Structure formats: C-alpha cells, structure tokens
C-alpha cells in the first residue's frame, strides 16, 4: 500500500497568516497517461463530509477560494492556505488515487492562534 | 446538479445484517465509479472499495475484502454497502463518493454523500 504521511498533525495560525501542510507519499503517484500526480486535498469540518479542494496535486476545484494552493515536488506535496480565514478551521487530508487501496494521510487539524 | 443522497442513521446489534444505500442524481450513474469511505469516531478516512455500475466490477481494499459487500442497481441509480454480520468495531460514519472521469481517464473523487452513521452496540 502507498503510505501517505502528513505533517504536522496540527497547527495554529493567526488570522491572515499562512498555513502550510505537507504530505509525503511512500512511492510515486504520477499517472503516465496524463502526466498528472494523482493526489487530492480535502477539507473536513465537524459534522460534514470531506470537501474536495485540490486534485492532480495543484488544480483547484471549481468554487474553491484562490487562497488554497497545492504544490508538488516528486513525492512531496504541499497545501498552502495563503491567508487563513476563520472559516478555514478544519481538518485537512491528502489522498492518493493512483493505485488501490486509495489511501489518505492521517489528517492535519488547523486552528486559529 | 450532481447529488449523492445516503440512507439514514442505523442502530443495530452486533451479529445483525445491514445494507445502507447511496442514491445518485444528476449524472450518468452507470459510467462513473462510486465508492465507500469509512470514518471511525474521531479518526481519519479509509477507502473501503468501489464499484463500476455499468458492469458491477468491484475493487476492495484488502482491509475490507470479505467484511463487506458493495453492489449497485443501475435501474434506480443506487449503490449499496452491506454487512452480513456487524461487529461493534463497524461503528462509524460511512460516506459514498463518486470518482470522476476526465477526457476518458479515470481521475479523482469529486462528490461525496452526506454520510450514514452506523452504530453497532448491544
């Protein structure tokens, strides 16, 4: 199985400041057919299902604010919230959908400092 | 508008059987993979398996193979997750999720159901 390791497990950031979440995959998730990394980021607020933010490692889902930025370098992936808003308090997960079993990171809890 | 609408919360005793559902609206149900994701209380997300409704081809996570059965009924655009004998450890929230195809290539999971809470307790 591909292991997805997120860091940190939690972070507290002041409103308007940058939040950075890292995710490392234990092997490549690059899909040769379209040269895309098969890596998504989700946001989950309490009592809600996960919400897709980013797919193909860096493509923002329609309707997602542009303060959410996905980046990639080999098997290292990053989700950056460029200017944290109060409504961004949530748990964030990365997921690889390259090969079964599709696996998620353990989650990163983002809070306001 | 794409929607996945799941059946309501269930409370069962260990050893009982259960089948929960996920009804799809707003897209061609048969030609998109649809899967199930487990979230145990206070824990992370685990992909359980998926089904391609057009031919009922299924894929299971090794962790869930033999523990659950995933099925689909194209005629009523509904996917199912079932247990023949629940365990207390099956207590969790279960989400159905659609996998999108872009330019003929299967890609990411986009739409999620609202979740079905299953409680197995004596």
Q: Is B115 left (phi over 0), alpha (psi -120 to 50) or beta?
A: left
pLDDT tens digits for B10-52? 999 999 999 999 999 999 999 999 999 999 999 999 999 999 9
Pick from B83, B114, B85, B118: which is nearest to B97 by CA?
A: B114
B106 band by pLDDT with thresholds 50, 70 and 90: confident
Mean pLDDT of chain A, nearest integer: 97
Maximal CA-CA distance, chain A: 43
Sign of CA dihedral B44, A57, A97, B24: positive
Task: Return the pLDDT at B104.
Answer: 83
Q: Which residues of B touch A1 (CB under 8 A)?
A: 62
Residues 25-64 of B with CB under 8 A from A: 35, 44-47, 59, 61-63
- Residue A33 above 90 pLDDT? no
Report the gap between the CA of B108 and the closest CA in chain A (Å). Answer: 6
pLDDT (0 to 100) of residue A19: 98
The values of phi and psi at residue B34, to 5°, are -135, 135
Angle ∠(A61,B102,B55) on CA atoms, nearest 5: 125
Classify strands B10-12 and B116-120 as parallel, antiparallel or unpaired.
parallel
């Amino acid at each position: 199985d591909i292991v997805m390791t997120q860091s940190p497990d939690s972070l507290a950031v002041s409103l308007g400041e940058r939040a950075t979440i890292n995710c490392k995959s234990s092997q490549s998730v690059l899909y040769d057919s379209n040269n895309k990394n098969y890596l998504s980021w989700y946001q989950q607020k309490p009592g809600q299902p996960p919400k897709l933010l980013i797919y193909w490692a860096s493509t923002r889902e329609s309707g997602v604010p542009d303060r959410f930025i996905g980046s990639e370098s080999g098997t290292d992936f990053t989700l950056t919230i460029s200017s944290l808003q109060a409504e961004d308090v949530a748990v964030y997960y990365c997921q690889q959908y390259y090969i079964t079993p599709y696996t998620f990171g353990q989650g990163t809890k983002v809070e306001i400092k | 508008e794409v929607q996945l609408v799941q059946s309501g919360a269930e409370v069962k005793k260990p050893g009982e059987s259960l089948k929960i559902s996920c009804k799809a609206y707003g897209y061609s149900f048969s030609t998109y993979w649809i899967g199930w994701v487990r979230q145990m209380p206070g824990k992370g997300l685990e992909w359980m398996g998926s089904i391609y409704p057009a031919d009922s081809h299924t894929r299971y996570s090794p962790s869930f193979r033999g523990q659950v059965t995933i099925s689909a009924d194209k005629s009523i655009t509904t996917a199912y997750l079932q247990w023949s004998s629940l365990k207390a450890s099956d207590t969790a929230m279960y989400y159905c999720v659609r996998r999108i195809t872009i330019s003929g290539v299967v890609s990411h999971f986009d739409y999620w159901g609202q979740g079905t809470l299953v409680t197995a307790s004596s």
